[in-house]
Amino acid sequence: MALCNSMSSEAKPAFKAVSLSTLRGVAQPPILPRSVADRIADFLDGRTHGEDLLHELYDHVLEEPIPQRMRALLK
């Protein structure tokens, strides 16, 4: 017989992450977007999967229509 945690989600307390600077009323500096060079370096170093870079490079291709000649080949 397998044991499991039977605590319902309704009984769990709701916690919200709050930073110390928010509690003190200190404004957070805005988070700047990372440069493309930094994101490529992160991908090459294995820190990310590079999905954001692939979306930027190839998402516009998904919007292009399939040429009629190619459709004819697939039929």
For residues 48 and 39, is the Cβ–Cβ distance under 8 A? yes
Residue in the structure block whose two tokens are 């998402």? 59
Tell me how far apart the terminal alpha carbons of the chain are, to the nearest angstrom. Answer: 54
Rounded CA separation 22/3 (Å): 40
Token digits for 47? 């820190």
pLDDT of residue 75: 87
Q: pLDDT tens track of the chain, all 75 residues?
A: 455 444 444 444 455 555 555 556 666 677 878 888 999 999 999 999 999 989 988 999 989 999 999 999 988
For residues 43 and 50, is the Cβ–Cβ distance under 8 A? yes
CA 21 remoteness from chain centre: 25
